[in-house]
Chain A
Amino acid sequence: MRVGFVGFGAMGRPMAEHLLRAGHALSVWSRRPESAAALLAQGAQWRASPAEVARDAEIVCTNVTGSADVEGLACGPQGLAPGFAAGSLHVDFSTIAPSAARRIATRYAAHGIDFVDAPVSGGSAGAQAATLAIMWGGKSALATRLQPIFEVLGKSIVHVGATGAGQVAKACNQMVMVAAIEAAAEAARLAAAAGIDFAKVRTAMLGGSAGSRVLEVFGERMATREFAAGVEARLHHKDYALLLDEATRIGAPLPVAAAVGQQLNALMALGWGRDDTSSLLRVLEAGGQRGPVR
């Protein structure tokens, strides 16, 4: 298939490489051309603008940072929209506001262009191993056209619902995951404050009802004090603003998420935004004594 791709960060680059290796013809554009160099060496074709990428491809995939980036890329001058023919398909893997996804879909619909929001979970490790969890929103009839793309990128592919539904699922995913990281951090803090080795506590918990993937992965980083990124905390901070804003818009109380959001604000203030989110432990430590008080 002729596939367009824009956005070659820690996630986008390995995803684009998988598509190339699966035999798709890839045309690419990037704001920073050097980020596409490795792909061009593997056979991807450079295009002068997003519009040129759109003109060439049956499906265009994007993976950029925020709502404004995706909207600019889709509908801005020299953006994808002017290049798309009616019947084209744009799959966006970025994590953005559900309302932004719906806005883009509405603007495209007037020109017969389809939009699918397909945020992913699994981090750069999942992108490299092609084991991402893909949660997508859009017309279910598009599933067969999406399958050849999705199957080379992820191992769990779920159609959640109409446009924006993928982003809602991603918001839920981020909310549950980061709240679990905070819970693990609080457990680590409680154990250390009581003079107990958290590594032992973690091992014990992994065998019981509190066992979880987060306790396994992020709990280990806390136990070994390995705070270099894995997942840059600033990205979770960004996701929390999105989901709390959505909660305000629809009038849904999220008391735990709101509290976790404040811990993330403190993490940013302490300068750990480019470190792993397991740094939530260091936020707790900054707020109190390190060892037993008495």
Chain B
Amino acid sequence: MKVGFIGLGLMGRPMALHLEKAGHELHLWARRPESLAPFANVNAKTHASPAEVAKHAEVVIVMVADAPDVEAVCLGADGLASGAALKNEPGLIVVDMSTINPNAARSIGLRLAEKGIEFVDAPVSGGETGAINAALTIMVGGKAAAFEKVKPLLEKMGKSVTLIGDSGAGQVAKACNQILTGVGVLAVAEAFNFATKSGVDAGKVREALLGGFAYSKILENHGQRMLDRNFKPGFKAWMHQKDLRIVMEEAHRMGLMLPSAAATAQVFNAIVGSGMGENDSISALMLLEKMSTPE
């Protein structure tokens, strides 16, 4: 299949390469031309604008930072929509794998639909490691027919691909994911700091808890990295802060009470504000240590 790919960062690059390895012809555009270097010797054509990518591809995957970027790529000057209008054979599916506000996703989907373009939101969980190992969890919102068409592509990048519901539903699932992981990482950090400050070995506590109802992947994986004091990302704290901002914006818009997520978002503000934004989210532990009486 002819697949467009826009957004070749830490996540996007390995994802696009998986598609190429599976035999698809890539059509690329990048804001920064140096992002195209890893694609010099593979089956990939580079283009001067998103519009050009849309002209040549049946499906375009977008993996950028935030809603305004997605909007610019899709609907801006020389965006995907303006290129799709010039195609000989009509029909384009845009798959946005960025994490953005669900309401923004719905709005972009509606505006693309007016121009005859299908839009699917398909944010991912699993981080850079998941992208490199093609082991992402992919949460999809959109029409079933469009989902069936792009599913084979998504399965080359992830090992769990789920259609959650209509347009925006993928982003809602991702927001739920970020509530659970944000609050979860903070909960593990609080438990470990509590154990350590009580003079108890946090590693032993973790081992015991893994066998009980407090078991979670976060306790297992993030917990281990806290014990190893390995704060390298993983998933950067500032990105988690951004994702919780989306959650809190939606809670405000809809009138939802999310007390734990709200408190957690403030801890992420403190992590970023104290200069640890480029570290992994587990830096929550360092923040709690700084705020606690030394042993």
Chain A interface (Cβ within 8 Å of chain B)? 237, 240-241, 244-245, 247-248, 250-255, 258-259, 261-263, 265-266, 268-269
Contact between A255 and B257, CB atoms less than 8 A apart: no
Binary CB contact string for chain B from 96 to 136 against chain A (1 if under 8 A, 0 otherwise): 00000000000000000000000000000000000000000
Q: List 27 A-B contacts (CB under 8 A).
A: A241-B252, A245-B245, A245-B249, A248-B245, A248-B265, A248-B269, A251-B269, A251-B270, A251-B271, A252-B269, A252-B270, A252-B273, A254-B266, A255-B266, A258-B262, A258-B263, A258-B265, A258-B266, A262-B251, A262-B257, A262-B258, A262-B259, A262-B262, A263-B257, A265-B257, A268-B255, A269-B256
Question: B267 contacts the other chain (Cβ, under 8 Å)?
Answer: yes
Contact between A266 and B241, CB atoms less than 8 A apart: no
Question: B277 contacts the other chain (Cβ, under 8 Å)?
Answer: yes
Contact between A259 and B255, CB atoms less than 8 A apart: no
CA distance A258 to B249 in the complex (A): 12
Given contacts A248-B241, A251-B270, A251-B277, contact A266 B263 (CB under 8 A): no
Contact between B256 and A253, CB atoms less than 8 A apart: no
**A129 shortest CB reach to chain B, Å:** 32
Contact between A253 and B270, CB atoms less than 8 A apart: yes
Question: B272 contacts the other chain (Cβ, under 8 Å)?
Answer: yes
Q: Which 5 A-B pairs have the closest CB atoms?
A: A251-B273, A269-B255, A253-B270, A268-B255, A251-B272
Q: Which residue of B241, B262, B269 contacts A261 across the interface (Cβ within 8 Å)?
A: B262
Q: Which residue of A237, A253, A268 contacts B267 across the interface (Cβ within 8 Å)?
A: A253
Given contacts A245-B245, A265-B251, A266-B257, contact A255 B273 (CB under 8 A): no
Contact between B257 and A259, CB atoms less than 8 A apart: no
CA distance A265 to B255 in the complex (A): 4
Q: Which of B248, B251, B252 has the most CB of A within 10 A?
A: B252
Find chain B residues with CB under 8 A from A252 CB: 269-270, 273
Find chain A residues with CB under 8 A from B252 CB: 237, 240-241, 261, 265
CA distance A291 to B273 in the complex (A): 43
Contact between B255 and A247, CB atoms less than 8 A apart: no
Additional 9 contacts, C-beta under 8 A, given A253-B270, A262-B259 = A241-B252, A250-B273, A251-B272, A251-B273, A252-B269, A255-B263, A265-B251, A265-B256, A266-B257
Chain B interface (Cβ within 8 Å of chain A)? 241, 245, 248-249, 251-252, 254-259, 262-263, 265-267, 269-274, 277
Q: Who on chain A is nearest to B275 by CB? A: A251
Q: Who on chain A is nearest to B258 by CB? A: A262
Q: Which of A237, A244, A252, A266 has the most CB of B within 10 A?
A: A244
CA distance A253 to B272 in the complex (A): 9
CA distance A265 to B256 in the complex (A): 5
Find chain B residues with CB under 8 A from A269 CB: 254-257
**A162 shortest CB reach to chain B, Å:** 22
**A262 shortest CB reach to chain B, Å:** 5
Q: Who on chain A is nearest to B261 by CB? A: A262
Find chain A residues with CB under 8 A from B245 CB: 245, 248
Q: Who on chain A is nearest to B274 by CB? A: A251
**B293 shortest CB reach to chain A, Å:** 19
Find chain B residues with CB under 8 A from A248 CB: 241, 245, 265, 269
Contact between A266 and B265, CB atoms less than 8 A apart: no
CA distance A253 to B268 in the complex (A): 8
CA distance A269 to B253 in the complex (A): 10
Q: Who on chain A is nearest to B256 by CB? A: A265
Find chain A residues with CB under 8 A from B255 CB: 265-266, 268-269
Find chain A residues with CB under 8 A from B258 CB: 262, 265
**B263 shortest CB reach to chain A, Å:** 6
Find chain B residues with CB under 8 A from A237 CB: 252
CA distance A152 to B256 in the complex (A): 41
Q: Which residue of A240, A253, A266 contacts B273 across the interface (Cβ within 8 Å)?
A: A253
CA distance A240 to B254 in the complex (A): 14
CA distance A261 to B261 in the complex (A): 12
Given contacts A241-B249, A265-B251, contact A259 B262 (CB under 8 A): yes
Contact between B273 and A244, CB atoms less than 8 A apart: no
Find chain A residues with CB under 8 A from B273 CB: 250-253
**A9 shortest CB reach to chain B, Å:** 22
CA distance A244 to B248 in the complex (A): 9
